[in-house]
Amino acid sequence: MKLFPVLLLFCLYSGMLPAQQNKAADYGLDTALLPCHNCTDSRISEYFSVGGKYPESSMSLVHRVNVHIAQKHITPEQDGFITFRFTINNDGKVSAFRLYMVDEQYKATRFSQEFIGALYQFVCGLQEWKTKLHAREKPVCYYNYYLSFRCKDGKITSVAP
C-alpha cells in the first residue's frame, strides 16, 4: 500500500491507441447538433439499440450512390473506406457529422474535397430515417448512425451497415 499515493500521481489517463481522427470540420461538414423538438431526454442512442437501421438495403444504396457520383462525373481517387457518422433527431433530420477515412490497410488517409462533398450530399439526401422510436418505453430523441462507403477500383463497391 506504500505505493498507493505514488500510483495516484500516475493515474492520468493515456489511451493505448490514438483515437481515430474526425475530419468533418476539415471538409466543411455540418458538425452542429440540430435541436430535438419536444424532447425530454437529450441522450443519444445508437441505431442498433433502438431498431433504427435505415430501411433501404445496402445493395440498393450501393447502386444509388454510384449513380449519384457518376452523374457528377466524380470517381474515388483511391481505394479505402469513408465513414460518415451523424445524429438523427426525432424529426428524421441528420446533423452533427463526423468523418473518418482509412485506406485498404485501415490506416488514416484523406480523400479529395470534391469526392467527400459528393458523398456528403448523397447522405444528406437520404429521407427515410426512422422516427418515433422508443427505448424502454421512452421516446428516442436522438440516435447515432453511420454510413461507410468502400471505394475500390474507381467506384463504391459496398455500403455499411
What angle do the packed helices 58-71 and 113-124 form, to 10 degrees? 130
The CA angle 63-68-74, to the nearest 5 degrees, is: 115
Task: Give the footprint of other proteins on residues 102-121 (CB under 8 A).
Answer: 102, 104, 106-108
Q: Is 96 left (phi over 0), alpha (psi -120 to 50) or beta?
A: left
SS3 106: coil
3-state secondary structure of 4: helix
Q: How far is the CB of 146 from other proteins (least distance, A)?
A: 4
Looking up cell 455499411, which residue turns up?
Answer: 160
42 forms part of the interface with other proteins (CB under 8 A): no
- Whole-angstrom Cα distance, residue 133 to residue 141? 8
Contacting residue, 24, 65, 141, 147, with other proteins by CB under 8 A: 147
Q: What angle do CA 32, 36, 42 make, to 5 degrees?
A: 90
78 sits near other proteins (criterion: CB under 8 A)? no
For other proteins, give the closer residue by CB, 37 or 53. 53
Under the criterion CB under 8 A, does residue 155 sit at the interface with other proteins? no
| Between 26 and 104, CB nearer to other proteins | 104
3 state SS of 78 = coil
**Which stretch, 15-23, 26-34, 117-125, 134-142, contacts other proteins (CB under 8 A)?**
15-23
The correct pick among 36, 115, 150, 151 for binding other proteins (CB under 8 A) is: 150
Sites of contact with other proteins (CB under 8 A): 3, 6-7, 10-17, 19-20, 46, 48, 53, 55-60, 81, 83, 85, 100, 102, 104, 106-108, 144, 146-148, 150, 157-158, 160-161
